[in-house]
C-alpha cells in the first residue's frame, strides 16, 4: 500500500513538473501511463483537467472537473479550475458565483482575488477590478495576474509615466492581453469615455506601430475625443438613443412654448436657431474633422 502511494505521489510530482514547464505532450504521455491505474484519484484527475485546459479542450476539462467534484464536492482546485473554464467561455455570472464561494472559504487567497478581478475586468467593471487586484497584491505583491490587471486599470484611471512604462512592458510580455485591452478601449468609447479610450489606444499603436488596424482604431478615437466633438457627446455616448432624446426634449419644449402665456415663448426663436445650427453642425463637422485628423 505504501509503495502504491509512493508511486502515485511520484507520478503526480512528475506530471506537475511537466505542466509547469509546459511540456504538454510529455505530460499527456505520463498521464496516459498512470491514470488507468488510479482512475479515481482527485489530484491525478485535476492534473488531467489542467492539461486539457492548456490544450484548449475546455469541454474535456469541464468533464474531468465535474468528475472530481462528484468524488469531492468541495475540492478547492477543481472549483477554481471550473471558474477559469466558465471565464474562458464568457459565463461571467457562474464564474463570479464560484469565486465568491471560494473566497468565503479562503479569504486570504491572492489567486482568487486576482481571478475575481479578471472577471470584473472582462465585464468592464474597471473600478472593482482594480480594487480586487490591489487586494490580491496586498496578499501577494508578486501575483502576476493581479499586477497585469492593476497596470491596465491604473493606466486608465490616472495614466502616469510609470504606469505607461508598465503597460508597455505588459503588452510586450503578454501579447494575449491585447484583446482584453481592445475590449476595454471599446467599452470606454461606448461609455462616452473617449479620452481614456484614445489614451489607451495610443499605447497599442506604440507597441505595434505597423498594425494598420490599430492605427485606424486610434485615429478614430482621436477624432471622437477632440474638444470640438463635445457638443455631440450625447450621440457619441448613446447613439440613436441620444439623438432620439434630443428630439423628444425639443418637441416637448416647443409644445410647452406654444401654449398660451407660456414663459418659454420668448425663447422659442432662439432655441429654433440653436437647434438648426446643432443639426447642421452634427452633419457637417464630423466629416471635416475626419479630413483634418488622419
Structural domain boundaries of the chain?
A: 1-86, 108-225, 228-294
Q: What is the pLDDT along the chain (294 residues), one digit of tens a residue?
A: 444 578 888 989 999 999 999 999 999 999 999 999 999 999 999 999 999 999 999 999 999 999 999 999 999 999 999 999 999 998 999 999 999 999 999 999 999 999 999 999 888 888 899 999 999 999 999 998 898 888 888 888 777 788 788 888 888 888 777 888 888 888 888 777 788 888 888 888 888 888 887 788 788 777 777 667 667 666 666 666 666 777 777 777 677 777 767 776 676 777 777 777 777 767 676 677 667 676
Q: Which residues of 103-131 are buried (b: 16+ CB within 10 A; e: fewer)?
A: beeeeebbbbbbbbbbbbbbbebbeebbb
Helix residue ranges, H only, the chain? 2-20, 24-34, 42-54, 58-71, 76-88, 92-105, 110-122, 126-139, 144-157, 161-173, 177-190, 194-207, 212-224, 233-238, 240-257, 268-292
Q: Give Cβ neighbours of residue 123 (< 8 Å, ≥ 6 apart).
A: 92
Q: How far is CA 149 from CA 110, 120, 126, 146, 152, in A?
A: 13, 10, 9, 5, 5
- Of 148, 174, 165, the residue nearest 206 (C-alpha): 165
The owner of cell 474597471 is 126
Yes or no: say if 118 and 149 are a contact pair by the CB < 8 Å rule: yes
What is the reported pTM?
0.70
CATH class of 1-86: mainly alpha
Rounded Cα distance between 259 and 40, Å, is 81
Contacts within 8 Å (CB) and 24+ apart, 207-210: 207/168, 207/171, 207/172
Q: Which CATH architecture has domain 108-225?
A: Alpha Horseshoe (1.25)
pLDDT at 202: 86
Q: Do domains 1-86 and 108-225 have the same CATH topology?
A: yes
Taking the C-alpha atoms of 109, 128, 223 and 180 in order, what is their torsion angle to the nearest 10 degrees?
30
Amino acid at each position: 500500500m505504501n509503495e502504491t502511494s509512493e508511486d502515485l505521489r511520484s507520478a503526480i510530482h512528475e506530471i506537475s513538473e511537466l505542466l509547469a514547464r509546459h511540456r504538454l505532450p510529455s505530460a499527456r504521455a505520463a498521464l496516459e501511463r498512470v491514470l488507468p491505474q488510479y482512475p479515481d484519484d482527485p489530484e491525478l484527475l485535476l492534473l488531467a483537467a489542467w492539461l486539457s485546459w492548456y490544450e484548449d479542450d475546455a469541454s474535456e476539462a469541464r468533464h474531468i472537473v465535474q468528475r472530481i467534484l462528484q468524488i469531492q464536492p468541495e475540492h478547492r482546485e477543481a472549483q477554481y479550475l471550473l471558474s477559469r473554464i466558465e471565464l474562458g467561455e464568457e459565463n461571467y455570472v457562474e464564474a463570479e458565483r464560484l469565486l465568491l464561494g471560494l473566497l468565503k472559504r479562503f479569504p486570504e487567497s491572492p489567486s482568487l482575488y486576482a481571478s475575481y478581478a479578471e472577471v470584473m475586468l472582462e465585464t468592464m467593471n474597471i473600478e472593482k477590478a482594480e480594487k480586487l487586484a490591489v487586494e490580491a497584491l496586498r496578499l501577494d505583491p508578486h501575483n502576476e495576474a493581479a499586477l497585469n490587471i492593476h497596470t491596465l486599470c491604473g493606466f486608465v484611471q490616472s495614466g502616469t509615466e510609470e504606469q505607461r512604462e508598465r503597460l508597455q512592458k505588459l503588452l510586450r510580455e503578454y501579447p494575449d492581453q491585447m484583446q482584453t485591452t481592445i475590449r476595454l478601449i471599446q467599452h470606454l468609447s461606448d461609455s462616452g469615455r473617449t479620452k481614456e479610450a484614445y489614451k489607451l489606444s495610443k499605447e497599442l499603436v506604440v507597441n505595434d506601430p505597423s498594425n494598420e488596424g490599430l492605427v485606424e482604431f486610434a485615429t478614430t478615437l482621436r477624432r471622437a475625443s477632440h474638444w470640438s466633438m463635445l457638443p455631440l457627446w450625447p450621440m457619441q455616448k448613446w447613439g440613436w438613443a441620444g439623438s432620439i432624446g434630443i428630439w423628444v426634449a425639443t418637441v416637448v419644449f416647443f409644445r410647452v412654448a406654444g401654449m398660451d402665456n407660456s414663459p418659454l415663448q420668448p425663447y422659442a426663436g432662439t432655441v429654433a436657431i440653436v437647434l438648426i445650427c446643432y443639426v447642421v453642425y452634427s452633419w457637417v463637422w464630423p466629416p471635416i474633422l475626419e479630413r483634418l485628423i488622419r
